[in-house]
Structure 1
Amino acid sequence: MRNREALEGVLFALPYLLVFSVFLLYPLLKGLYMSLHDWNAIYPSQSEFVLFENYVRMMNDPLFWNALWNTVYFVALTVPPLVVLGLVLALGVNRQLKGRRFLRMVFFSPYVLTVAVVALIWIELYAPSYGVFNYYIGQLGISPPNWLNSATFGMPAVALATIWWTLGFNFVILLSARQGIPERLYEAARLDGAYGWRAFRDITLPQMKPALLFVTVVQFIASFQIFGQVFIMTGGGPGNATDTIVMYLYKAAFNQHEFGYAAAVGYFLFVALIAVSMANYKLAGDSA
């Protein structure tokens, strides 16, 4: 009977395992194999085995470190606002407000747009001559910047567009988490004289901690993989001021045709994301 149950379990899992192996496991192993070679995309059999030379080259490339710094900068610009604003909006809409269903739709609607649509909208908003931002800045008598062609403002401009675009995801997750907190906990807290900040600190935050951890880790991973907005809005420029890790990988693979080196960069990103995720979970566990 046990053998039959085990066989049935394997048969039920087989379709998923097949898809997982073809579309996830094989590419993962293939990428590692490529990263150890000077990969010839046209004649793979002629690829030269170079062991860790691609990784050594990556560590010695100033452009790689520039892209890594820009990625970390982007993460710092986006993750805290996305988590904090998502929490604020979720707590605000959870109140008994008129039109809160409409507000939910408004806050979430940007998230359904594609990255190309979002990028094109914000390119128009940042336009030097007729953009909304520069128009109102000019009305204040201040010389407006050329947002997307500025080494100083380029990355913050992309970050602002990303926050507007992806905030709805965090909002929905955190709103759902807040609505899952039993109201009897707040009723008991009010009987003990706990209102406002004390109720938020002692009930809301602890109860919403799993959701907050989830959106934080998801946003870290998404922000570390930033590509589409940068590719469309700035192309990594001016110069390399808005280059990110994935943009750097893309240029190595499709501009310079160095697929083995690009695979090494991809594996660095893969390990970095695992490390960041583990660090987030560890910090959350220590603060519990």
Structure 2
Amino acid sequence: MAQAQQTETDATNASADESGGLTASSLRELLAGVTFALPYVLIAGTFLFGPLLLALYMSFHDWNALDPAQSQFIGLENYRILLSDPDFWDALRNTVYFVVLTVPPIIVGSLLLALGVNRDVRGKWLLRTIFFSPYVLTVAVVGLLWTEVFSASGLVPYYIGGGNWLTDHQLAMPAIAIATIWWQLAFNFIILLAARQNVPDRLYEAAKLDGASPWRMMRDITIPQMRNPLIFIVIVTFVNSFQVFGQPYIMTDGGPSFSTTTVVLYLYETAFTGREFGYAAAVGYVLFMILIAISATNYYFLTGDDQ
């Protein structure tokens, strides 16, 4: 009798599977998945999606930070003002200039360091430590350190000349870029080094038997095998560079004459100095959309995937 009931239960479960229904086993798996995901969903909803929606709401208002209930709804007025705001466009140009100065050296430099350290050289463990060590520093330490390096009595003006780089309209942004490259190389270096070490040695051995040159092996083996980590660091490096804030804030405070004011620094000053929180929220959302567009474009061209 018990065997017959078990057979009937199995048949019912099988029938439920065929018809797309939930069995007791699949329901338990679903509940377990929801239970494990729930803490992250709650945290993300509280500290990510909640502020994201609040900022969108603020961008449509003349926001009163002291008494939000008194905020006035103005629709798209903040966005209209933003599009005709010369300071915003200057900040965007400065940001793009910073991205051009930093992204290619960080990506190419970290790749070359990873490939070089991966070779069988003496003391490579020490080289790994040296190359990664800048990343453990905070942005405040990096900014203060390089402020001294580029100051009038610092090492760079002493050996290269040019006076205080951080007060020069032409040299201030390159100085910030140099500090950022030195700092950000480390993170990409570790990612790419791990990716290179995961490339099977048998591929290189087979290529050597076929007489492939080192350049051919890099082009046909190394780069394709490291494709996904490379895509990751390209997107992350673009996003980080577009969101630069700490370096110009500490090293130049946006000067001289607005020449190093980036979009995020402009947003900060608009909100906390000008007290225009609704307009600052609009600036943040425009930057958010720019980052989405850049990330999607990078992903499309690097993967050839339009999905």
TM-score normalized by the length of structure 1? 0.95
Matched-pair contact (CA < 8 Å) for 2:105–2:181: yes
CA apart distance, 1:150: 1.1
2:137 aligns with one of 113, 116, 126? 113
1:190 aligns with one of 184, 201, 208? 208
Q: Distance in 2 between matches of 1:137 and 1:36?
A: 50
1:136 aligns with one of 134, 143, 159? 159
Q: Distance in 1 between matches of 2:151 and 2:192?
A: 34
2:281 aligns with one of 257, 263, 266? 263
CA apart distance, 1:136: 1.1
Q: Distance in 2 between matches of 1:28 and 1:170?
A: 28
CA apart distance, 1:32: 0.3
The letter for the 1-side match of 2:63 is W
Q: Deviations over 1:13-35 (max 9, x none)?
A: 22111111111111010000000
CA apart distance, 1:196: 1.1
2:231 aligns with one of 213, 216, 229? 213
Q: Distance in 1 between matches of 2:89 and 2:236?
A: 24
Q: Residue 99 in 1 paired to residue 123 in 2? A: yes
Q: Distance in 2 between matches of 1:175 and 1:115?
A: 23
1:254 aligns with one of 251, 272, 284? 272
Alignment correspondent of 1:17: 41
Alignment correspondent of 1:141: none
Matched-pair contact (CA < 8 Å) for 2:151–2:163: no
2:257 aligns with one of 224, 239, 243? 239
Alignment correspondent of 2:110: 86
The letter for the 2-side match of 1:152 is Q
Q: Distance in 1 between matches of 2:140 and 2:111?
A: 27
Q: Look at both structures and tell me which one has the larger radius of gyration over its CA atoms.
A: 2
Where does structure 2 lack aligned partners over 5 or more consecutive residues? Answer: 1-23
Q: Residue 199 in 1 paired to residue 217 in 2? A: yes
SS in structure 1 of the partner of residue 119 of structure 2: coil
CA apart distance, 1:268: 0.7
CA apart distance, 1:4: 3.5
Q: Deviations over 1:111-139 (max 9, x none)?
A: 000001011110111111x211111125x
Q: Distance in 1 between matches of 2:138 and 2:164?
A: 25
Alignment correspondent of 1:226: 244
2:99 aligns with one of 64, 67, 75? 75
Q: Deviations over 1:13-65 (max 9, x none)?
A: 22111111111111010000000000000110110000100011011000000
Alignment correspondent of 1:53: 77
Structure 1: which 4+ aligned runs deviate by more than 6 Å?
none
Q: Distance in 1 between matches of 2:145 and 2:32?
A: 51
CA apart distance, 1:9: 2.5
What are the within-5 Å matches in structure 2 for residues 145-156 of structure 1? 145-156=163-174
Same amino acid, percent of matched pairs: 59
CA apart distance, 1:107: 0.3
Matched-pair contact (CA < 8 Å) for 2:59–2:282: yes
Q: Distance in 2 between matches of 1:7 and 1:103?
A: 48
Give the total of aligned pairs: 281
The letter for the 1-side match of 2:101 is L
Q: Deviations over 1:197-237 (max 9, x none)?
A: 11111111111111111111100000000000000000000
CA apart distance, 1:12: 2.3
The letter for the 2-side match of 1:16 is Y
Where does structure 1 lack aligned partners over 5 or more consecutive residues? Answer: 139-143
Q: Distance in 2 between matches of 1:191 and 1:7?
A: 54
Q: Distance in 2 between matches of 1:80 and 1:240?
A: 24
1:40 aligns with one of 64, 77, 81? 64
Q: Residue 280 in 1 paired to residue 298 in 2? A: yes
